[in-house]
Amino acid sequence: MVGYPGVDELERRARALVAAAPGVLRLRAVGESRGGRPLWVLSAGHGERQILTVAGAHANEPVGGASALRLARLLAHRPEIPEALGCTWHFLLCLDPDGARLAHGWQPEEPAPSLTECHRHFYRPEFACQPESLPVPGTGREPLPESAALVWLLDELRPVAQFTLHGIEVGGAFTLQTRRVPGAARAFRETAALLRIPLDHRPYDAPDWQPDPPGVLRLPEGNTGSERDPSGYVAESTWLYPWRYGTLTAVVEAPAWSAPAVSDPRPEPDPRGEAARAAELLLGRTREITELLGDGAPDEDLLPLHTAARELLDVAPSIAATCADERGGSRGHFATLGIAARRIPLRAAAMLRRALAGTAPGTACALTDLVHEWCRELDKTYELRWIPVSAQTALHVRTMLDVARRVCD
């Protein structure tokens, strides 16, 4: 099957793999989501070293589950791989099944899927409901059940490596690693080049991480606790939690549509101007959305979409201020900044359109027009190219295998 498997399909395909290779693979639940859905872990091999792959941490990033199944299938067919590594490889197939159900519904019609159709089903939870983030001590907030299950699994396994698989609608490939692994950065760049996926020269994510351009960020020495995102949110992280066990965490990001401009290493000749334009565009578009909204309440079942969209509108000024503070960098970095300035209002409009379709159809119709217009402008401005799902998953799988071999050597 080419495409992105939904939550039920992930379980069905995992069970089929286990039935075909019962001596190599096994499946167990390690907890439940807030909605009572099981969190499935598929395990391959019987070695003493433990490796964990986490997929589906963000509802809008279904490629991770497809990649996890692809690698699990490979290990089932070639059990000598985990045997040579001396490892047992575990795949948490979907960390946020509740969110994934709200986001599922779009399958890319290759070879040229529609960016507008992708956003017709868009959902990404508000920050506090993203299970790779843990509460900062002293806030009084309890971890989500999904977060607690992942922490329990990390405590049980104490893995030598944790891979967390992510995707993004538009941009370039990149990886974040909690420590330097000799040769891994070069291998990642070579893999992306072979797959014709441009590297994000300096990703906008993880402002506290040390860039090693192109396409690589590392955790600065001494930072083993909290992390900050560009909106200013600070949280403890399941990426950093297993540092106490000596675990390497590697985040691997695969774009669905590539934007070649993000890989441009040349210095930006007008950084202040580019930063100001990105900030103005972000504020202008979020203001346009706000002016459309009335007093209409969302459908109760779609309240999470409304809440997440309102959060994006609320944090837009702080993100715009972060954009405006940029003082230098490559053209690729400022292309990434421009895409981020477009992505935030596009996501907000897409979620609000869904949330209000049944209760405020006029507003939803106007938001539909904005989504269509902004997708078309994004495509034209950055000359987007669809990355086949097979290439997206190949980036994940090849990177995991390469890093695992280096860590287990």
Q: Which helix (H) or strand (E) holds 399?
A: helix 389-408
Residues 98 and 199 grouped into a single domain = yes
Residues 79 and 168 grouped into a single domain = yes
Residue 74 belongs to domain spanning? 7-259+387-408
CB 261 within 8 A of CB 383: yes
The token pair at 248 is: 């390497």
- In the prediction, which pLDDT does 222 show? 63
Give how many domains the chain has, as a whole number.
2
Query: Of how many residues is the chain composed?
Result: 409
Q: Is residue 265 part of a domain?
A: no
Q: What is the mean pLDDT of residues 131-154?
A: 93
Q: Is residue 176 part of a domain?
A: yes
Instruction: List the 234-237 sheet strands across, edge first.
Output: 133-134, 234-237, 226-228
Most confident residue range from 77-86, 209-218, 327-336: 77-86
For the purposes of burial, counting CB atoms within 10 Å of the CB of 32, is it exposed (0-12), middle (13-18) or buried (19 or more)?
A: middle
Q: What is the mean pLDDT of residues 106-113?
A: 91
Q: What is the mean pLDDT of residues 236-254?
A: 96
CA angle (227, 233, 238) in 5-degree steps: 40
CATH of the domain at 130: 3.40.630.10
Residues 317 and 361 grouped into a single domain = yes
Question: DSSP assignment of 17-50, as one string?
Answer: HHHH-TTTEEEEEEEE-TTS-EEEEEEE---SEE
Residues 357 and 249 grouped into a single domain = no
CA angle (188, 191, 195) in 5-degree steps: 140
Q: Is residue 264 part of a domain?
A: no
Split at pLDDT 50, 70, 90, the class of 296 is confident
Split at pLDDT 50, 70, 90, the class of 45 is very high
- In the prediction, which pLDDT does 1 show? 54
CA distance 72 to 45: 10
The token pair at 401 is: 């295998």
Residues 240 and 275 grouped into a single domain = no
Residues 102 and 117 grouped into a single domain = yes
Q: Is residue 97 part of a domain?
A: yes
Q: What is the mean pLDDT of residues 268-294?
A: 96
Q: What is the CA radius of gyration of the chain?
A: 20
Q: What percent of the chain has a predicted confidence (pLDDT) above 70? A: 96
Residues 221 and 192 grouped into a single domain = yes
Q: Is residue 2 part of a domain?
A: no
DSSP 95: S
Q: Is residue 152 part of a domain?
A: yes
- In the prediction, which pLDDT does 104 show? 84
Q: Which helix (H) or strand (E) holds 228?
A: strand 226-228
* CB-CB neighbours of 98 under 10 Å: 22
For the purposes of burial, counting CB atoms within 10 Å of the CB of 244, is it exposed (0-12), middle (13-18) or buried (19 or more)?
A: exposed
Residues 293 and 247 grouped into a single domain = no
Residues 148 and 216 grouped into a single domain = yes
- In the prediction, which pLDDT does 393 show? 99
- In the prediction, which pLDDT does 227 show? 61
Q: Is residue 367 part of a domain?
A: yes
- In the prediction, which pLDDT does 280 show? 98
Residues 85 and 112 grouped into a single domain = yes
Taking alpha carbons only, the member of 159, 148, 166, 178 closest to residue 52 is 159
For the purposes of burial, counting CB atoms within 10 Å of the CB of 243, is it exposed (0-12), middle (13-18) or buried (19 or more)?
A: middle
* CB-CB neighbours of 352 under 10 Å: 29
CA distance 310 to 314: 6
Residues 112 and 94 grouped into a single domain = yes
Q: Is residue 241 part of a domain?
A: yes
Is the pLDDT at 2 greater than 80? The verdict is no
Split at pLDDT 50, 70, 90, the class of 137 is confident
Residues 324 and 202 grouped into a single domain = no
Terminal CA-CA length for the chain: 34
CA distance 352 to 355: 5
118-156 burial, b for 16+ CB within 10 Å, e for fewer? bbeebbbbeeebbbbbbeeeeeeeebbbbbebbbebbee
- The per-residue pLDDT for range 167-223, each reduced to its tens digit, is 999 999 999 999 999 999 999 999 999 999 999 998 887 778 899 999 999 988 766
For the purposes of burial, counting CB atoms within 10 Å of the CB of 92, is it exposed (0-12), middle (13-18) or buried (19 or more)?
A: buried
CA angle (322, 326, 331) in 5-degree steps: 125
